[in-house]
């Protein structure tokens, strides 16, 4: 069974802290790993990773994939209250000929002022 596990489940930090969110996976037919940010509405796309060891960066957020150890991390530096959200990790797979995403349960991040 395809599985994506995120840790921690929830996290409270102070503004300015750096956080690291974890995502590990066990899937067949891996194609990519995606990170989404979900506030009180639609999940919004952050990153898609397909190759090991290549960091993707967008402002204070960065992410890297390790396909040998089957995990990814999402780093947020100098956190702000606007970073408070659920962060979803999803793995793209091919199953019965179709591309699908398998989601983790998410990490709920709260950044306090």
Partner 1 sequence: DVKVTQSSRYLVKRTGEKVFLECVQDMDHENMFWYRQDPGLGLRLIYFSYDVKMKEKGDIPEGYSVSREKKERFSLILESASTNQTSMYLCASKRDGNEQFFGPGTRLTVL
Tell me: does residue 101 bind partner 1 (CB under 8 A).
Answer: yes
Tell me: does residue 107 bind partner 1 (CB under 8 A).
Answer: no
Cβ proximity of 12 and 64 under 8 Å: no
Q: Considering beta carbons, is residue 21 or 79 the nearer one to partner 1? A: 21
Q: Is 100 helix (H, G, I), strand (E, B) or coil?
A: strand
Tokens 């991040």: give the residue: 109
Tell me: does residue 48 bind partner 1 (CB under 8 A).
Answer: yes
- φ/ψ of 111, rounded to 5, equals -105, 115
Nearest CA to 73 among 51, 85, 89, 91? 89
Within 8 A by CB and 6+ apart from 10, the residues are 107, 108, 109, 110
Which of 42, 58, 59, 82: binder of partner 1 (CB under 8 A)?
42
Size of the site for partner 1 (CB under 8 A): 23
| Min CB(10)–partner 1 separation in Å | 11
Q: Round to whole Å and give the CA distance between 112 and 86.
A: 15
Tell me: does residue 103 bind partner 1 (CB under 8 A).
Answer: yes
Which of 14, 41, 69, 82: binder of partner 1 (CB under 8 A)?
41
Q: Can you give the binding site for partner 1, defined by CB under 8 A?
A: 4, 31-32, 34, 36, 41-45, 48, 88, 90, 92, 96, 98-101, 103-106
């Amino acid at each position: 069974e395809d599985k994506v596990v995120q840790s921690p489940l929830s996290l409270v930090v102070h503004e300015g802290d750096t956080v690291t969110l974890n995502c590990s996976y066990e899937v067949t037919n891996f194609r990519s790993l995606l990170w989404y940010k979900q506030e009180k509405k639609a999940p919004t796309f952050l990153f898609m990773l397909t190759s090991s060891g290549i960091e993707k960066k967008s402002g204070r957020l960065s992410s890297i994939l390790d396909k040998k150890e089957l995990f990814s991390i999402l780093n947020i530096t100098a956190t702000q209250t606007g970073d408070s959200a659920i962060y979803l990790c999803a793995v793209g797979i091919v199953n019965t000929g179709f591309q699908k995403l398998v989601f983790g349960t998410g990490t709920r991040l709260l950044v306090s002022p």
